[in-house]
Amino acid sequence: MADEFDFDILVIGAGPGGYVAAIRAAQLGLKTACAESRETLGGTCLNVGCIPSKALLHASELYEEAKGGALAKFGVKLGDVDLDLDAMQAEKRKAVGELTGGIEFLFKKNKVEWLKGAAAFEAPNRVKVGDRTVSARNVVIATGSSVTPLPGVEVDNDGGRIVDSTGALALPEVPRRLVVIGGGVIGLELGSVWRRLGSQVTVVEFLDEILPGMDGEVRKECAKIFKKQGFDIRTATKVTSAKVDGATVALSVEPAKGGDSQALEADAVLVSIGRRPNTDGLRLEAIGLKTNNRGQIETDHEFRTSVPGVWAIGDVIPGPMLAHKAEDEGIAVAENIAGQTGIVNHAVIPTVVYTHPEIAGVGLTEEEAKQQGEVKTGKFPFLANSRAKTNRDTDGFVKVIADARTDRVLGVWMVGSLAGTMIAQAAQAMEFGATSEDIAYTCHAHPTHSEALKEAAMAVTGKPIHI
Ligand code: FAD
Ligand code: NAD
């Protein structure tokens, strides 16, 4: 198709949004290129996000289980357990290398041309990538996001003292005391990694509770569980300064609403107060494309921006900054460009925090649902789930929120060791417009953690069996 243009589609950014868009476009027969300034494909997610963090979460969980003697009661007796941090990091790098290399393979297989370098617009259909200028009938902006800086707290990942998530994934040694600024997803996941490896972790959160955006009961339960695990969680508190002094960092914290400040000392500080969209250097002004007051590019439901021929997806547009949301938007935008109907149901995007226990949710929180009308909820604790009990892993619960009138499921929230996997069933049920009764009358294998979802659905009408 690409006669007057070099390409039918140029995707800028090869994260989960961009690489998926490029592959789907190529599958649909469009001549496709993808510009990426990083040395490897896969974006934040594969290089410095989802994948390396999950590698360290998995490895540190194994270490904590072995070191803490949790296996002994199951009759698994170990000798001395030592940490080899270099080996742990090497295994993480290997997983990252395999996965980023996998995207390179998929690009070759699907004939997506990788243009190496930073892209900047010259015109809506003309983009400079490194030293080369290419034209494309459609350009998809999928440039993702980067860490939000905190004034007065300067990140220096190489120094290893005040770091962002990228630095915290590669600390050269276990800090004795780690202060995490921001009790959100990154703070709790990476805080968990280093706590398991031996750090005393203090989480400083500006708001009254950790994990903003999640269901209220989930936030409370998680705060309890994390405190039990040894996290020192200081909510309604802000860090006003952090200064490196040799091998330590001197911090000053005070109540979020103002008041007396307090000194805090750490061996490392993680700044994890959110992420912001990447648009610097794209030269959006060259095409008259403006960002909103949060720096995001606005699109319609087909992912068209206000400039004809220019589309946007992923972390750079509004919505949760999640890899699977970016991927689904990548598929939809490619299908829309190819003349098909690409749709993403933004009301059903699951979210998962990969701590132990995992935290997962999809749809509305109970608070949001109540604002829309009358709701019924059903809750089932893992303490009453036979498999969780057998595994001696009973923290958490499942909660189903349904419309009181129609019984349609509006949201499902869970805290539990397998919540990240279990939430897919809830998302699918909601995508099919399920009622709580539909879930309650679906046969679930026994003994599985998933039975807790069935029982929570049964509890919506007051009829769980095991509590
Ligand atoms: P990105 O993955 O950010 O990719 C954008 C790419 O564009 C980058 O590679 C960048 O180099 C490139 N780029 C930017 N500007 C240009 C330019 N001008 N020219 C060329 N290339 C450019 N999400 C989950 O769903 N699950 C998780 O478990 C999870 N864990 C995370 C852990 C951490 C530590 C972090 C930081 C994030 C995590 N996320 C997770 C969020 C997830 O990584 C992002 O939501 C996802 O990567 C967004 O995808 P994207 O394609 O929009 O952008
Ligand atoms: P976040 O928005 O999850 O959490 C940031 C936290 O910092 C919030 O609780 C906020 O109230 C707090 N905060 C903000 N300013 C503060 C300040 N000055 N002092 C103290 N606390 C402050 O952001 P994040 O943890 O940095 O993660 C960024 C993004 O990456 C998120 O949008 C998330 O969706 C994504 N991510 C997802 C996963 C996952 O899906 N498992 C994992 C990691 C990151």
pLDDT tens-digit profile of 403-445? 999 999 999 999 999 999 999 999 999 999 999 999 999 999 9
Name every residue whose Cβ is closer than 8 Å to that of residue 90 and which is 6 or more positions away in sequence. Answer: none
Is the alpha carbon torsion for 20, 23, 29, 30 positive or negative? positive
Task: Count other Cβ atoms within 10 Å, centred on residue 349.
Answer: 17
Please tell me whether residues 140 and 280 are part of one structural domain: yes
Instruction: Please report whether residue 156 resides in a domain.
Output: no
Single out the catalytic residue among 356, 446, 449, 466. Answer: 446
pLDDT at 1: 55
Please tell me whether residues 333 and 314 are part of one structural domain: yes
Q: Which residues partner with 140 through β-bridges? A: 11, 311
Which of 238, 254, 273 finishes a domain?
A: 273
Which of 273, 289, 317 finishes a domain?
A: 273
Instruction: Please report whether residue 61 resides in a domain.
Output: yes
Which of 236, 251, 273 finishes a domain?
A: 273
Question: 359: closest CA among 223, 456, 460?
Answer: 223
For residue 328, report the distance from its CA to the centre of ligand 1, in Å: 14
State which of 11, 115, 143 you would mutate to test the pocket of ligand 1, scoring each by most atoms of that ligand within 8 A of its C-beta: 143
Query: Measured from the CB, is residue 312 less than 6 Å from ligand 1?
Result: no
Query: Measured from the CB, is residue 182 less than 6 Å from ligand 1?
Result: no
Instruction: Please report whether residue 319 resides in a domain.
Output: yes
446 among known catalytic residues: yes
For residue 51, report the distance from its CA to the centre of ligand 2, in Å: 17
Name every residue whose Cβ is closer than 8 Å to that of residue 131 and which is 6 or more positions away in sequence. Answer: 117
Say if CB 208 and CB 186 are below 8 A apart: no
Question: 224: closest CA among 206, 211, 237?
Answer: 211
Say if CB 457 and CB 437 are below 8 A apart: yes
Q: How far is the C-alpha of 167 from the C-alpha of 171, rounded, in Å?
A: 6
DSSP, collapsed to helix, strand or coil, labels residue 331 as helix
Structure tokens at 84: 């080899």
Instruction: Please report whether residue 152 resides in a domain.
Output: no
Q: Please state the domain count of the chain.
A: 3
Please tell me whether residues 57 and 90 are part of one structural domain: yes
> Hey, whose CA ends up nearest to atom 14 of ligand 2?
273
Query: Measured from the CB, is residue 321 less than 6 Å from ligand 1?
Result: yes
Query: Measured from the CB, is residue 157 less than 6 Å from ligand 1?
Result: no
In tens, the pLDDT along 265-295 reads: 999 999 999 999 999 999 999 999 999 999 9
CATH number at residue 399: 3.30.390.30
Name every residue whose Cβ is closer than 8 Å to that of residue 158 and which is 6 or more positions away in sequence. Answer: 167
Q: What are phi and psi for residue 118, nearest 5 degrees?
A: -85, 135
Please tell me whether residues 269 and 282 are part of one structural domain: no
The ligand minimizing its distance to the Cα of 270 is 2
Please tell me whether residues 197 and 80 are part of one structural domain: no
Please tell me whether residues 378 and 266 are part of one structural domain: no
Instruction: Please report whether residue 465 resides in a domain.
Output: no
CATH number at residue 308: 3.50.50.60
> Hey, whose CA ends up nearest to atom 35 of ligand 2?
321
For residue 210, report the distance from its CA to the centre of ligand 2, in Å: 10
In tens, the pLDDT along 61-100 reads: 999 999 998 999 999 999 999 999 999 999 999 999 999 9
Instruction: Please report whether residue 207 resides in a domain.
Output: yes
Task: Give the ligand 2 atom nearest the CA of 322.
Answer: 34
Instruction: Please report whether residue 231 resides in a domain.
Output: yes
Query: Measured from the CB, is residue 315 less than 6 Å from ligand 2?
Result: no
Please tell me whether residues 111 and 177 are part of one structural domain: no
Query: Measured from the CB, is residue 213 less than 6 Å from ligand 2?
Result: no
Question: 139: closest CA among 348, 290, 282, 346?
Answer: 282
Say if CB 47 and CB 92 are below 8 A apart: no
Name every residue whose Cβ is closer than 8 Å to that of residue 14 and which is 6 or more positions away in sequence. Answer: 22, 34, 35, 36, 38, 41, 42, 43, 103, 114, 142
Task: Give the ligand 2 atom nearest the CA of 212.
Answer: 9
Q: How far is the C-alpha of 388 from the C-alpha of 394, rounded, in Å?
A: 5
Range of the domain at 237: 162-273
Q: How far is the C-alpha of 245 from the C-alpha of 271, rounded, in Å?
A: 17
The ligand minimizing its distance to the Cα of 129 is 1
Instruction: Please report whether residue 466 resides in a domain.
Output: no
User: Which value, in Å, is the radius of gyration of the alpha carbons in the chain?
Assistant: 23
Please tell me whether residues 294 and 267 are part of one structural domain: no
Please tell me whether residues 113 and 56 are part of one structural domain: yes
H or E segment to which residue 174 belongs: none
Sheet holding 351-353, edge to edge: 351-353, 358-363, 409-416, 397-403, 375-381
**Global pTM value:** 0.98
The ligand minimizing its distance to the Cα of 13 is 1
Please tell me whether residues 263 and 281 are part of one structural domain: no
Please tell me whether residues 332 and 414 are part of one structural domain: no
Is the alpha carbon torsion for 415, 421, 422, 424 positive or negative? positive
Query: Measured from the CB, is residue 143 less than 6 Å from ligand 1?
Result: yes
Task: Give the ligand 1 atom nearest the CA of 17.
Answer: 51
pLDDT per 10-residue tile (average), the chain, 467 residues: 86 98 98 98 98 98 94 94 98 98 98 98 98 98 98 95 98 97 98 98 98 98 98 97 96 96 97 98 98 98 98 98 98 98 98 98 98 98 98 97 98 98 98 98 98 98 94
Q: How far is the C-alpha of 60 from the C-alpha of 81, rounded, in Å?
A: 12
> Hey, whose CA ends up nearest to atom 37 of ligand 1?
49
Please tell me whether residues 288 and 418 are part of one structural domain: no
